[in-house]
Amino acid sequence: MLLFIVVFSFSTTVYAEENKEGNLIYHVKYDYEAISKFLGMTVQEYDQEWGKVFDSRDDGEKRNC
């Protein structure tokens, strides 16, 4: 939850639109430089760590975890 709050604190644009099926689609544009500075790392390090999250998630899905 804290990560959610931190990330949305650094978003510069947030908007929603309704698709053809009537579902809301949210769009968020993040200020990656501000987020990485807050976390004490470079943007490249942040990208690398963020990529690890998705790699772990993908591995879990493959194993049905």
Domains of the chain: total: 1
- The pLDDT profile of the chain, 65 residues, written as one tens digit per residue, is 555 555 556 556 777 888 889 888 888 888 888 888 888 999 999 889 888 877 766 666 666 66
3-state secondary structure the chain: CHHHHHHHHCEEEEEEEECCCCCEEEEEEECHHHHHHHHCCCHHHHHHHHHHHHHHHHHHHHCCC
Structural domain of residue 55, as residue ranges?
Answer: 2-62
pTM of the model: 0.50
